[in-house]
Chain A
């Protein structure tokens, strides 16, 4: 299972961040095994089109891939992307926290120069 690829805290962080419960659920299901969109749609109280939209959003983010199997499109979760994205976002957060520190420096400097 994908869980093994994450450190405990990191996994918590990723899943806490997955704000949309439906997408989180789709991702969890498709990480276990491939599922068609129509089969996925059977799990939720929403239209086929709405589920399709969630899948498309996950696909755009590279979190799932669709593979054609006969007449059906099977959705597969991509644990590598989830991991990579979480790692990258953590780095990007660091970039912003460094920037925020420097902004505070610019602001403090300014205050100092006017007094």
Chain B
């Protein structure tokens, strides 16, 4: 994998993220299409994701939850807005309530993902558009428990070795 990089535009609350993989577009597409593969990278390591529904077609919906070390389960949903296998994908990603269904009135993040063949494999570009900084904060909190989880883990290790 080539070192990925992002371009942020705070005025429009948009982040463009580019990563290159040593695998064909079809293989990279599979990590999104196959829910078992998707689960291996969508949620942070300490908050693995489970997709209970994954309809990878235009208008299709997904339901997922992530399970934290303390058993907490933040949930989310996707709606596929446009899909062109294996070239591009556009979807909405929002928060779900404890019943796993979309929270009423919650405005989702929109994401566009493109897969382009390169000499070495695939260039994957994700463009995320947020509606507000509050929404960004929520999304990042949901996606980044990892950082906190890892820090906690390290503290545990330090305490264990000290004891």
Taking beta carbons and an 8 Å cutoff, which residues of A are in contact with B?
13-14, 17-20, 23-24, 27, 57-58, 60-63, 81-82, 84-86, 88-107, 110-111
Contacts and interface: CB of A to CB of B under 8 A. Distances in A.
Contacts of A13: 8
A62 B17 CA distance: 23
B42 interface: yes
A88 B136 contact: yes
Contacts of B52: none
21 contacts: A14-B10, A17-B8, A17-B10, A24-B11, A57-B12, A62-B133, A63-B10, A82-B10, A85-B136, A89-B9, A92-B15, A92-B136, A92-B143, A95-B143, A95-B144, A98-B146, A100-B4, A102-B41, A103-B21, A103-B28, A105-B40
A97 to B, nearest CB: 5
Given A81-B133, A93-B15, A96-B4, A107 B27 contact: yes
A107 B21 contact: yes
A48 to B, nearest CB: 20
Given A89-B15, A96-B17, A102-B40, A17 B7 contact: yes
Instruction: Tell me what chain A mostly uses at the interface: helix, strand, loop, or mixed.
Output: helix
Contacts of A61: 10-13, 132-133
B48 to A, nearest CB: 11
Contacts of A85: 10, 13, 133, 136
Interface of B: 1, 4, 6-13, 15, 17, 19, 21-23, 27-28, 31, 37, 40-42, 44-45, 124, 126, 128, 131-133, 136-137, 139-140, 143-144, 146-147
Contacts of A106: 31, 37, 40-41
A88 B7 contact: no
A92 B4 contact: no
B141 to A, nearest CB: 9
Given A100-B4, A100-B19, A104-B21, A92 B140 contact: yes
B4 A97 contact: yes
Contacts of B132: 61-62
A91 to B, nearest CB: 5
A52 to B, nearest CB: 16
Nearest to A18: B11
Nearest to B42: A99
Nearest to B37: A106
